Structure 1
């Protein structure tokens, strides 16, 4: 008589199904990203457009004395008609020398349309969404661009975004690519560099190629001002304001396109504690967006965002829980503390999952000049057992923080990633 399956066997089956479904989806998206990459090789975005719309660049800045001058200087140097460009920095309740540095930049560029809005602890310090809402009230541009305070965009970054948007009326926003400026600082920043490239080519480019879907990142994007006005600005309760606004843009019937030829360089966390605080905040913010929009999964009017709802819900709930459970089962099984009957060749399943992960990331790296090298491939192999496992704990922390703050009704506060 066949042995009866126990609870550990069912948990193992749940883990394997969730993990392998996500691996399959990601490998399909990676292939889609590669197809889109081949298309970008044939693109020419340098041809001028008939009408250059006015653009307002918003930069939320809270205690950014280490990076703000370099960022604003790079934005002033953008290859875009100066009479069509304004830069608005929201100096949001800063207690360092951010304001003094911005005043110095204004004196160095007296002819440039650079505005600094300074808030205090009453009007500001309530998060990025609040700062953006303050900034847009003083803006005049037909298009709104957003850059984080640690960004150094390439000179063509904004022009390529505008050219892409201007040539397609169905687009509500266009996002560019962000690269890791300090990728060679230490092992952590090297991992982050690989992760960001994988995410952008695998998830952003793949989703655009296959579903005409993208999610706005926090920086290097433009959106039509009319859309922001129609939506009533950014959701001040959302700390993942980029994901939240993406869903609302799709619900209005617009598309968001990924344009990897538009590149900005940003500083990433250089220490584990800073990285944990940043990423757990991202998870917490994304869970808020998913919970806010989850009912739309069953709405006929939300077909444009159904895949994203399913994908990100699977990442933060099904995949997260299955990955943590599978790690626990694997460790307990090795220690002979538990037994499960359905596993078969357990080691083979984990080895295959590992090889698929390495393959996905290797394909993504091959789409970025100078990144597909033996050192990075070795780092990908190491990431699976270190960085990725740490991400599971960070994601779990973010989910718990969301649940805690929702129950206690805690107000959203600005957490600024520490600069180096």
Structure 2
């Protein structure tokens, strides 16, 4: 029973942390662009691509709809083996706002650095090639940079291809986990990842930190942690919504989650000393323990609790486990349901429980994939996820 008491206590602790931080949040209305106090900031959009033939035209067309003066798009083809570069040049080679260059395959970080070096703007906005954005994102993101301490601003990422059960589950996860945690931890400067799908950076700060690194499996997490270690501020633009393509097959989902999990752990370990000694005590003693517990350890342990309950209840006849198990399940559903309601999302509680059960076991198997790749020595190998090109603006 001690295991279940501990699990229930952890869920209650999570609820208390979230509600405590939500109650202390400051309401700060965003300044409209025309009322920004300082000079208008220049901005470029950086688009790295590798084998994006299916999506690159749609993505660039979408980026050209951004309603901001002087916003240019810098496309760097990272040695694609398909016709991505030719297709991009065919459609946008003569466009005055689009610059397309090609390099030998060196990885996404190298492509981002190449694009950054070609830019002369104050702000660079990094967008994945499978992501569509709304036309007003600059009106929402750029006012955050009026504070000179702000080095990066995270966008709000939603799944834009709800085509099957797997992508629907990821749609819920993006809202209730990733986006919600960024909104909660913003006021304590505890955002650990500015997502690669939509993230804005002060260009000179990125250059001063030696750019994006190819040594990290998750370059977006690495640059964010380096900025935090350098005492910069990371903001969250919850109204700057973008729609990204989530993996729609289990195999592609495992590849993505292996990279995300290993990249996060890699970054937390690499900068552990600087982060634990950070003058921001909320970051050191709330955000970091929370991340290790709820993003690294519990996604592995909680699915095992289901097997433990089934074995204890049906094989050993321990019926005392049922009430505690149901309470834990109710606590988990309450957390997710509360966030969905706060985000004005409709849901069926029974369907939500069903999807949570399936999804957390998929995440568990991603840990098995991590172990298998570690045994094969391919843990840090980048796995490209093929695009389907089925993202739609909501």
TM-score (normalizing by structure 2): 0.88
**Equivalent pairs, count:** 385
- Unmatched 5+ stretches in structure 2: 389-394
Aligned partner (choices 58, 83, 87) of residue 73 of structure 2: 87
Q: 1:39 Cα deviation (Å)? A: 4.1
Q: CA 1:25–1:397 in structure 2 vs 1: closer, same or farther (change >3 Å)?
A: farther
Q: Which residue of 1 aligns with 2:96?
A: 111
Q: How do 1:139-288 and structure 2 match up within 5 A?
A: 139-166=119-146, 168-183=147-162, 185-209=163-187, 211-214=188-191, 215-288=193-266
The 2-side partners of 1:97 and 1:356 are apart by: 49
Q: Which residue of 2 aligns with 1:372?
A: 346
Q: CA 1:345–1:411 in structure 2 vs 1: closer, same or farther (change >3 Å)?
A: closer
The 1-side partners of 2:307 and 2:273 are apart by: 32
The 2-side partners of 1:32 and 1:86 are apart by: 41
Q: CA 1:359–1:172 in structure 2 vs 1: closer, same or farther (change >3 Å)?
A: same
Aligned partner (choices 40, 43, 47) of residue 55 of structure 1: 43
Q: CA 1:105–1:414 in structure 2 vs 1: closer, same or farther (change >3 Å)?
A: farther
Q: 1:372 Cα deviation (Å)? A: 2.1
Q: Which residue of 2 aligns with 1:134?
A: 114
The 1-side partners of 2:241 and 2:24 are apart by: 16
- Unmatched 5+ stretches in structure 1: 1-11
The 2-side partners of 1:174 and 1:29 are apart by: 23
SS at structure 2 position matched to 1:314: helix
The 2-side partners of 1:37 and 1:383 are apart by: 31
Q: Which residue of 1 aligns with 2:353?
A: 381
Q: Which residue of 1 aligns with 2:392?
A: none
Q: 1:186 Cα deviation (Å)? A: 1.2
Q: CA 1:194–1:336 in structure 2 vs 1: closer, same or farther (change >3 Å)?
A: same
Q: Which residue of 2 aligns with 1:353?
A: 328
SS at structure 2 position matched to 1:386: helix
Q: CA 1:400–1:285 in structure 2 vs 1: closer, same or farther (change >3 Å)?
A: farther
Higher relative contact order (CA 8 A, sep 6+): 1
Q: CA 1:324–1:356 in structure 2 vs 1: closer, same or farther (change >3 Å)?
A: closer
1:416 is the counterpart of 2:384: yes
1:171-227 deviation per Cα after TM superposition (whole angstroms, max 9, x unaligned): 1111110111112x1111111111101024531111124x23213112212111121
Alpha carbons 1:33, 1:203 under 8 Å: kept:
no
SS at structure 2 position matched to 1:79: coil
Q: Which residue of 2 aligns with 1:390?
A: 362
Q: 1:62 Cα deviation (Å)? A: 0.7
The 1-side partners of 2:207 and 2:10 are apart by: 37
Q: 1:400 Cα deviation (Å)? A: 5.7
TM-score (normalizing by structure 1): 0.83
Q: Which residue of 2 aligns with 1:312?
A: 291
Aligned partner (choices 82, 103, 118) of residue 96 of structure 1: 82
SS at structure 2 position matched to 1:73: helix
Q: CA 1:264–1:386 in structure 2 vs 1: closer, same or farther (change >3 Å)?
A: same
1:79-128 deviation per Cα after TM superposition (whole angstroms, max 9, x unaligned): 1112xx22111111111121122102324x6222x2222122xxx2x432
The 2-side partners of 1:212 and 1:63 are apart by: 36
Q: CA 1:365–1:137 in structure 2 vs 1: closer, same or farther (change >3 Å)?
A: same
The 2-side partners of 1:99 and 1:378 are apart by: 47
Aligned partner (choices 279, 284, 290) of residue 268 of structure 2: 290
Aligned partner (choices 32, 35, 49) of residue 45 of structure 1: 32
